[in-house]
Amino acid sequence: MIWYPYEQMKTMRKPYKITDAEGVFLYTEDQKLIDSVSSWWSVIHGYKHPVLTEAIKSQADNFSHVMLGGLTHEPVLALSKKLESFLPGDLNYCFFSDSGSVAVEVALKMALQFYTNRGSRRDTVLALTHAYHGDTFKAMEVGDDEDYHFAFAEKKGVIHIPTEISALEEAFDKYHDRLNCFIVEPLLQGAGGMRMYDISFLKRARELCDKYDVLLIFDEVATGFGRTGNRFVADLVCPDILVLGKALTGGYIGHALTAANEKVFRGFYDDDDRHALMHGPTFMGNALACSVALKSIELFENEDYMEKIRRITEITEREMAGFCDPRIKEIRIMGGCVCIEVREAKTLTGFQQFAYERGVFSRPFLTYLYAMVPYIITEEQLVTVLDTMKAWFRR
Ligand SMILES: *Cc1c(COP(=O)(O)O)cnc(C)c1O
């Protein structure tokens, strides 16, 4: 049988069985649902997009996968070339892997080894409270979400700070000579509760990282490709290492990227074999994933997705304006993300089925009721999603 994610198998609700998916819609045997979760925030172009499906089909006719160990191929070459111009600054060195968690592991490994290659020892990572960076062990260690990882409370080699400039300055003041990197989900902390913070924090972080020679890592696995209303937050403040996943392939196949800048790459580029990056996921640079990622990026650019996202923000702000309820703690909107944070988790019990009956798929967690819709959503469909969220409080 299937062991489902984040569930107590004994008490979990029976999952909805999806029989088809197209555009923003998921189909079950008896219902047509607008997917307000975009399959964990990845399906930005919607399901069964003809261009993306064709990219996979035509590559599969050629070959689906060859390893990158000693081999290379056109889809991975074309994607890395595209990323060089598409990504900001000198984030030109693309290390591919099969999931966001692994890409975070690679980023943290790069940061640690960057200093050991120089013969210095800096084994501490600075991270944010409520951070989520994935479910593998090092990613859990730098993460800070007791609700996901309560069984692994002990933390070593990591310091967590809130998104306040004073805390940031204090941490650098105290620990700078031990820090190899500062890793953040920039502007929007997703799985930690759709927490939003100001760009001034990241600007100050960039200054302090420069001052103390600490690497700045942006985990944009969730925020990348427009979710915050910026193409990448890295367009505003450029990190040394950028991690992308989720929407990288338009949600078609699991694949992720750790992009390093010139400075980081130079820290490994050497005659000494021991200074090489010793990492190599079996399916890194998978040809199907690279083909579909390239097409996904082309769609994003050529069909002006940033304008689509601006429209989503505008409609969301308009529809949520003035909406309130004593059970609601805060309503937060940024780019293509809206979150209603309630005071008590039990307020949301039953919402998923309520939404299902109204033709919306939603998956609230803890005290967070949110929508991160596919960018191709129409105004009417988006209003349906938001109305469903509001209707729950007006029953
Ligand atoms: C989802 C997520 C990850 C983990 O990605 P997986 O592909 O699930 O391993 C890492 N960081 C952030 C910010 C995420 O949202």
pLDDT digits (tens, 9 = 90+) for 283-311: 999 999 999 999 999 999 999 999 999 99
Q: Whose CA is nearest to atom 3 of ligand 1?
A: 134
Report the DSSP beta bridge partners of residue 333.
338
**308-318 exposure pattern, b = at least 16 Cβ within 10 A, e = fewer:** bbebbbebbee
Point out the domain boundary residue: 249, 269, 302.
302
pLDDT at 146 over 90: no
- Indicate whether 201 and 292 sit together in one domain: yes
Point out the domain boundary residue: 302, 327, 358.
302
Given the residues 35, 138, 144, 246, select the one marked as catalytic.
Answer: 246
Cα(191) to ligand 1 centroid in Å equals 9
CATH number (domain holding residue 28): 3.90.1150.10
- Indicate whether 273 and 318 sit together in one domain: no
- Indicate whether 278 and 130 sit together in one domain: yes
Contact in structure between 22 and 208 (CB atoms under 8 Å): no
**Exposed/middle/buried for 192, CB within 10 Å: 0-12, 13-18, 19+?**
buried
Cα(222) to ligand 1 centroid in Å equals 7
- Over the chain, what is the mean pLDDT? 96
pTM of the entire predicted model? 0.97
132 is catalytic: yes
pLDDT at 44 over 70: yes
Point out the domain boundary residue: 302, 331, 356.
302
- Indicate whether 319 and 276 sit together in one domain: no
Q: How many residues does the chain have?
A: 395
pLDDT for 148 equals: 55
User: Of 180 and 146, which is predicted with more confidence?
Assistant: 180
Ligand 1 binding pocket mutation candidate from 43, 149, 221 (most atoms within 8 A of CB): 221
Given the residues 35, 219, 305, 370, select the one marked as catalytic.
Answer: 219
pLDDT for 206 equals: 98
90 is catalytic: no
pLDDT band at 153 (very low <50, low <70, confident <90, very high): very low
Single out the residue of 103, 93, 84, 73 nearest to residue 290, CA to CA: 73
DSSP state of 269: -
Answer yes or no: is 261 within a domain.
yes
Single out the residue of 121, 134, 213, 203 nearest to residue 168, CA to CA: 203
Atom of ligand 1 nearest to the CA of 99: 7
pLDDT for 147 equals: 58
pLDDT for 70 equals: 97
What is the rounded average pLDDT of the residues 201-220?
98
pLDDT at 151 over 60: no
Q: Rounded to whole angstroms, how far apart are CA atoms 157 and 141? A: 8
pLDDT for 384 equals: 98
219 is catalytic: yes
Single out the residue of 384, 389, 391 nearest to residue 25, CA to CA: 384
Total number of domains in the chain: 2
- Indicate whether 310 and 356 sit together in one domain: yes
Please list every protein residue whose CB sits less than 6 Å from any atom of ligand 1: 99-101, 104, 132-134, 185, 190-191, 219, 221-222, 245-246
Atom of ligand 1 nearest to the CA of 254: 7
Residue type, 221: V
The owner of tokens 């197209």 is: 22
- Indicate whether 328 and 270 sit together in one domain: no
Single out the residue of 205, 125, 128 nearest to residue 160, CA to CA: 128
- Indicate whether 292 and 315 sit together in one domain: no
Cα(33) to ligand 1 centroid in Å equals 24
pLDDT for 156 equals: 78
Structural domain that includes position 384: 20-48+304-393
Percent of the chain at pLDDT > 90 equals: 97
Half-sphere exposure for 180 (CA within 13 Å, toward CB) = 25
Single out the residue of 205, 132, 124 nearest to residue 167, CA to CA: 205
